[in-house]
Amino acid sequence: MTDKDNDPAAAWQTMFGEMSKGFAAFANQALASPELGKVAQQVGGVSAEAHKQFADMMDKYLAGMNLPSRAQMQEFNARLAEVERRLDELAAAVQPGKSGKPKGSA
């Protein structure tokens, strides 16, 4: 049997347990403070603004290279899907016998 006082794994476990308790206490105290809420709000606002600026910069970059932006590609995809739907309807109206049903079915 091993002696717990001389076991490095047990010492490590004890140290890690104490560190975890200390960190949990610190985190609970920090989360209770209103200052943390303000800081989190500010960081979120800065992040959102940076994301918006990056998106605007990418739109300008793509426009400068004469390439469509993501929003333009999504709009194009929606329009193409609508054209394909209408084309399918027209094809079904012109060729009613080819509706996908076998010839013997009602």
Domain boundaries, the chain: 31-94
Residue identified by tokens 């010839």 is 103
d(CA 87, CA 72): 22
Most confident among 25-39, 42-56, 74-88 (mean pLDDT): 74-88
Beta strands in the chain (DSSP E): none
Q: pLDDT band at residue 34, thresholds of 50, 70 and 90? A: confident
In terms of pLDDT, which residue wins out, 23 or 1? 23
Residue identified by tokens 């016998």 is 97
Cα distances (angstroms) measured from residue 94 to each of 91, 98, 106: 5, 9, 19
| 3-class DSSP state of 103 | coil
Q: pLDDT band at residue 90, thresholds of 50, 70 and 90? A: very high
Mean pLDDT for the stretch of residues 59-82: 93
In this model, does residue 100 exceed pLDDT 80?
no
DSSP label at residue 100: S
Over residues 38-56, the pLDDT tens digits come to 777 777 788 888 888 998 8
d(CA 101, CA 106): 8
Give percent of the chain above pLDDT 70: 86
Q: In whole angstroms, what separates CA 33 from the centre of its chain?
A: 29
DSSP H or E run through 46: helix 34-64
Most confident among 55-59, 81-85, 94-98 (mean pLDDT): 81-85
